[in-house]
């Protein structure tokens, strides 16, 4: 399921969301200028490699300090490929602006970064001996998804679901989307426990850590909500495409 847009309008410029996207893009473009050996060295230093902190021999062989905790933060601005960064930043753009509009840039940024740190921490706990670099904004964005669903329980999300080569669009309540997404991460994470450390390529536990952090942080960062106003805005936005279609049909029938 690919979210394409949501029904909560926003008025303020999403400066924090835009800045996070710009930083991720800048970091990715910088990565693209490196050779393969230089990329490996760069990721060993700035992505999250759990073995760096649990295996002194590994850390020494790569010339890295076991006391440098900055990768728990820096890894969330790095990505492993074009599709990786595009999919992450697209979801951030779908859910980020409306949430930032209600929280304000400072609180939105705090929620994003703390969710990302929680994602890194939980990934570390379940992959303590892995020598595979973990990187990507998906853990922090999982926190944004959770906070969005909790802040806007009446919101709807437009979903693109490709079926073979046919794109199918449909609407889904934000709470249902977030719940299904989280359930999928739990199932995949549980399955990953049977795999060797670092196998699989996706940091499922990071997604879970970020999601839980975002859900728990939302009440501590969000100002008082107006459920009726949000419900009205969400319903109006959800019905807008149907209203336009019905008006067009009415005009055509009157011709």
pTM for this one? 0.87
The pLDDT value given to residue 128: 92
Can you list the residues of the chain whose pLDDT is less than 70? Answer: 196-201, 224-255
Q: Which residue has the tokens 């859900």?
A: 215
Tens-place pLDDT, residues 138-150: 999 999 999 999 9
Q: CB within 8 A of 240, min separation 6: which ones?
A: none
Look up the CATH superfamily of 2-253. Rhomboid-like (1.20.1540.10)
Q: CB within 8 A of 90, min separation 6: which ones?
A: 2
The pLDDT value given to residue 165: 80
Please state, in angstroms and rounded to a whole number, the distance separating the CA atoms of residues 41 and 64: 10
| Residue 206 burial (C-beta neighbours within 10 Å; 0-12, 13-18, 19+) | buried
Angle at 41 between CA 39 and CA 44, to 5 degrees: 105
Please state, in angstroms and rounded to a whole number, the distance separating the CA atoms of residues 103 and 98: 9
The pLDDT value given to residue 167: 85
Tens-place pLDDT, residues 33-79: 999 999 999 999 999 999 999 999 999 999 999 999 999 999 999 99
**Buried-state track 165-201, b at ≥16 Cβ within 10 A, e below 16:** eeeeeeebbbbebbeebbeebeeebeebeeeeebeee
The pLDDT value given to residue 210: 97
End-to-end CA distance of the chain: 40
């Amino acid at each position: 399921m690919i979210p394409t847009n949501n029904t909560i309008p926003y008025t303020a410029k999403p400066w924090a969301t835009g800045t996070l996207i710009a930083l991720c893009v800048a970091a990715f473009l910088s990565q693209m200028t490196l050779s393969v050996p230089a990329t490996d060295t760069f990721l060993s230093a700035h992505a999250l490699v759990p073995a760096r902190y649990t295996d002194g021999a590994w850390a020494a062989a790569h010339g890295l300090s076991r006391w440098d905790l900055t990768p728990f933060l820096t890894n969330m601005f790095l990505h492993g490929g074009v599709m990786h960064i595009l999919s992450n930043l697209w979801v951030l753009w779908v859910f980020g602006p409306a949430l930032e509009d209600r929280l304000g840039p400072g609180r939105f940024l705090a929620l994003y970064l703390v969710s990302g740190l929680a994602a890194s921490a939980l990934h570390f706990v379940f992959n303590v001996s892995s020598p595979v670099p973990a990187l990507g904004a998906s853990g922090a964005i999982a926190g944004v998804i959770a906070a969005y669903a909790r802040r806007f329980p009446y919101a709807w999300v437009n979903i693109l679901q490709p079926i073979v080569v046919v794109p199918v669009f449909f609407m889904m309540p934000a709470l249902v989307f977030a719940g299904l997404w989280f359930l999928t991460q739990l199932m995949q994470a549980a399955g990953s426990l049977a795999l060797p450390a670092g196998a699989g390529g996706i940091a499922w536990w990071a997604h879970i850590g970020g999601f839980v952090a975002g859900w728990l942080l939302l009440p501590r960062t969000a100002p008082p909500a107006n459920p009726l106003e949000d419900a009205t805005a969400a319903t109006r936005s959800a019905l807008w495409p149907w209203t336009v279609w019905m008006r067009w049909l009415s005009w055509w029938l009157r011709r």
